[in-house]
Amino acid sequence: MLWRIAIFTIGLLWLACAVADGYRIVTEGGVLVWTLGLVHGVFFLLLGLGTCFASAVVDGPTARQTLADFAGAVFSAKNLRELATMLTLAVAAAWVLVKIKTH
């Protein structure tokens, strides 16, 4: 039961992401929000609904294995290195832009 609740919680987080995208589309508008925001929102809506549905129908061992596979894929060393590289490049680019603007 614990594993089903964990998967259901992940599904709710993805649904919250879709709701946030919908809120942005309604309140801000703009071409970028209407296109990329819509695609992002629909993707997370379907992913969240599917995850919540799957948590209700799968058995405990399958839910546990699915959650372990998902966590292994998300928090793999390769993904963490890529994230660290992207964050380092973003900070460096922001620092350069601040230096250009202040001079």
Q: What is the pTM of this model?
A: 0.64
Indicate if the pLDDT at residue 103 is higher than 80.
no
pLDDT digits (tens, 9 = 90+) for 33-45: 888 888 988 999 9
pLDDT digits (tens, 9 = 90+) for 59-81: 878 878 887 888 788 788 888 89
pLDDT of 45 reads 93
What's the mean pLDDT when you consider all of the chain?
87
**Angle, CA 33 vertex, CA 11 and CA 89 arms, to 5°:** 80
pLDDT of 68 reads 82
Indicate if the pLDDT at residue 92 is higher than 90.
yes
Helices marked H in 1-103: 2-27, 31-32, 38-57, 60-74, 77-102
Q: Which amino acid is at 71?
A: A
Mean pLDDT of 31-57: 87
Residue 53 CA to residue 34 CA, distance in Å, equals: 28
In whole angstroms, how large is the CA radius of gyration of the chain?
18
